[in-house]
Amino acid sequence: MSTPIGDYALLADLHTGPLVSRHGSIDWLCLPRFDSAAVFAAILGTEEHGRWLMAAAEGTVTDQHYEPGTFVLRTLWRTATGEAEVIEFMPIADDRADLVRQVRCLSGHVRIEHDLRLRPEYASALPWVHRMDGEDPFLRAIAGPDAYVLRGPSLEAGDNCHTGSFDLTEGQTHEWVLTWVPSHAEDPEPLDVTEALTRTRSYWQDWSKQISVAGRWSEAEHRSLLVLRALTHAETGGIVAAPTTSLPEDPGGVRNWDYRYCWLRDSALTLEALLLHGRTETALHWRNWLLRAVAGDPEDLQIMYGVGGERWLDERTLDHLPGHLDSRPVRIGNGAVTQFQADVVGEVLIALAKIRDAGLEEDDFSWPLQRSMLRYVTRHADSKDQGLWEMRGDPHYFTHSRVMMWAALDRGVRAVTDTGLDGPAEQWAQLRDRLRAEILSEGVNAETGGFTQTYDNTEVDASLLQIPQTGFIDYDDPRMLATVAQIERELKQDGLLLRYRTTTGTDGLSGHEYPFLVCSFWLVEQYAHTGRIDDATALMDRLVGLTNHVGLLAEEYDPAGDRQMGNFPQAFSHLGLVRAADALQAAIQNHEPSEHDLHPAVDPEESR
């Protein structure tokens, strides 16, 4: 039986992101990078696909939490004979790839048991493991290009695993360090765990102290900003959408995707969230990543890249893995890399405009690159696309995509007229205005007065909630209010929003999915900007209540099963939380009761 997605905690060293279950099993670990092959993949199968269990024998977990402002994880175990605390972390700010597990007996006596199953290359290879004796004995496992060194009290070889039981009495401490190195490299020196823990705590705490958040949801917002930082690669500046692959949107179905890459859209929106909270150095780091990744012919622009800017992300399946909750296929790579998604340049240019607004100057490379991206927009102004949600059906004119193309051109015009940068502002303005007229003609339903998902249907899509965020229209524009009303009628499931109705077949996939969390956060933001403070607050409280025991959110939520679904933790969900918290807190501070607050609408689903 798969461990529920929401039962995991994330560890982070700004290079990768392993997942540790509430009960002491590391079931997902890619080394040395987010998009490297996994050595522990039990989350997509069973323990035979790789895991490292460290638990108190016949014990129960009474608490698990991060040290404030960090990704240092503490887990408290209680047994009939005593208590023990486990500290787990990945050292930061060095050139190593280490995972540290330290256990200390707090009272009485406790037996700690290990079950280590190294399975490199997504469990397609068994490593050659041997013990290195001497003054500092350790285990060394090799498989192809990868080597793994385990230091700590000795584990014994079993049937393709290493196990051990260790009795600790009050005050005793044991620690284990798993280190990745290239298989051709020298064995790493032992890690100074005390120094590494001090350094790691200091890094995260110093970073956290520079974040300013306030209000009712400040704790959740602060953790979300930390998650966004944790999903940023320290050297390249690339921001991954999630550290996992193929955690299902539809258990037992085919909606399983690899999110360990850098979507321009997701990265741009993440950048905005960090920038608004004072992290300008992250903004510049990401801008430099962007410049390197997309440099060249604008016609070669992709919607996503590898962590280092790699272009080849071919999608393939791992048929030997049964998948989380038997959801197959398990995929690595992502076929959406070849799609045309017309909205992407808009999100990127909005983010880069905000960098300018923050006082960070363009350099000799950044503005010319933005001009080339605008040329890309003008050349594809009449092209249909696959939309924000990466539909695998036929291309359409998605209204959200057309608005984002408008936004790209609008930011280009403003860059010239407001800041004096060079460019064909008149040409961009003409196309911008043509797009606006087209959208208001073709993308609005004549009967409802609201926006439509595509020009050729009358469906609504939660992406339409982003329209006022671009400045295309006001949040309280009648067309937007009509759109919101239809979204509330047709996309709500147990009070949360679906992305769109999968029954229409527009996405070209079988099966269904659960409410997509960022969409509900967008609705909070919409409510906040239109005076619906009570509705916004109630929904925000509900959403924040869905975070797991350490404050993390997956991509989706299954209301009936009360479980998180999809890749985890998901940057999109956490940046949605940050935006919604900021918008709602500002609205509360400036709020005067509206007629809607005095006579709120009744949700037809909730009234039944």
Q: 10 Å Cβ neighbour count for 38?
A: 28
Count Cβ atoms within 10 A of the Cβ of residue 420 and give its class: 0-12 exposed, 13-18 middle, 19 or more buried.
exposed
Count Cβ atoms within 10 A of the Cβ of residue 441 and give its class: 0-12 exposed, 13-18 middle, 19 or more buried.
exposed
Residue-level pLDDT at 605: 34
Q: Which strand (E) or helix (H) includes residue 290?
A: helix 280-294
Instruction: Say which amino acid occupies 513.
Output: E
Predicted TM-score of the model (pTM): 0.94
Q: 369: which residues sit within 8 A by CB, 6+ positions away?
A: 290, 291, 294, 295
Distance separating alpha carbons of residues 119 and 31, to the nearest angstrom: 12
Distance separating alpha carbons of residues 411 and 370, to the nearest angstrom: 10
- Classify 78 as helix, strand or coil: strand
Q: Which strand (E) or helix (H) includes residue 266?
A: helix 264-276
Residue-level pLDDT at 93: 80
Residue-level pLDDT at 355: 86
Q: How is residue 309 annotated by DSSP?
A: S
| Residue keyed to tokens 């039962």 | 7
Helix residue ranges per DSSP H, 456-532: 478-490, 517-529
Distance separating alpha carbons of residues 149 and 142, to the nearest angstrom: 9
Beta strand 492-493 with 496-497 is: antiparallel
Residue-level pLDDT at 135: 78
Q: Residue 89's Cα: distance from chain center in Å?
A: 19
- Classify 441 as helix, strand or coil: helix
Beta strand 19-21 with 38-40 is: unpaired
Give the CA dihedral 296, 299, 302, 305, nearest 10 degrees. Answer: -20
Q: Residue 422's Cα: distance from chain center in Å?
A: 36
| Residue keyed to tokens 């890619």 | 30
Residue-level pLDDT at 342: 86
Distance separating alpha carbons of residues 76 and 66, to the nearest angstrom: 12
Among candidate residues 181, 143, 145, the one with its CA nearest the CA of residue 160: 143
Question: What phi and psi, each to the nearest 5 degrees, are found at residue 463?
Answer: -60, -25
**Cis before 329? omega within 30:** yes
Residue-level pLDDT at 608: 27
Length of the chain, in residues: 608
Among candidate residues 274, 46, 50, the one with its CA nearest the CA of residue 148: 50
| Residue keyed to tokens 């460019």 | 423
Instruction: Say which amino acid occupies 601.
Output: A
Distance separating alpha carbons of residues 275 and 575, to the nearest angstrom: 12
Tokens of 245: 């692959």
Can you list the residues of the chain whose pLDDT is less than 70?
A: 1, 298, 592-608
Question: What phi and psi, each to the nearest 5 degrees, are found at residue 289?
Answer: -60, -45
